[in-house]
Amino acid sequence: MSAELIPFGKLNVLIAMQNRQLGEFIRKVLRDGGAENIQRAIEVPHALKLMRSKNVNLFFVDYDFSEHGGPDFVKFIRLTDGDMSEAPVVMILPQPSKKTVMECRDAGVNEILALPVTGNLVESRLKHIYAQPKPFIRSASYIGPCRRREQMKAYHGVERRTNQDSKIQYEPAFVKLMT
């Protein structure tokens, strides 16, 4: 993996998934890249304990994690205090559909990986997260990275925003799984 794009030495990773084999595979991919601080949790109480004791700055979450599901766990992460709430989250989807992709996006996920997962796919998502970071949004109805995937086109109508001095650049966020 490209160490200049992905800060492996600074990563504190939490892999939250019940599938031990997949969790070990992701751990191996990250270790091969140079990451050393990698924790795995197969249950929510263990994940919460690790989140309290470690300064987690990257999450890999299984869509089917816990009885409530991965998207609810991501919503919890986004509601925590401190830097951890803005940590990148990669969601692993067993069978992506438009509904599940939108659910993950609306929960605050940065990137989505569909099964089967390969080392190259993990690398490409991490490169995208760190090479093209998105603005982080905190509003009454959403907390997470900007959900827009494509660059905004020039708007030619009347500008109705009150604060025109601060222009936000939107970067791609999710892979189009549905057409």
Q: What is the pLDDT of residues 24-83, one digit of tens each?
A: 999 999 999 999 999 999 999 999 999 998 899 999 999 999 888 999 999 999 999 889
Q: Please state whether beta strands 58-62 and 136-138 pair in parallel, antiparallel, or not at all (unpaired).
A: unpaired
Please tell me the pTM assigned to this model: 0.80
User: pLDDT tens digits, residue range 104-120?
Assistant: 999 999 999 999 999 99
C-alpha closest to that of 170 among 130, 127, 120, 136: 136
Q: Which CATH class is domain 8-145?
A: alpha beta
What is the b/e burial string over 33-60, where b = at least 16 CB atoms within 10 angstroms of the residue's CB?
bebebbbbbbebeebeebbeeeebbbbb
**Is pLDDT of 151 > 50?**
yes
**DSSP code per residue over 47-99:** HHHHHHHS---EEEEETT-TTT-HHHHHHHHHHSSSGGGGS-EEEEESS--HH
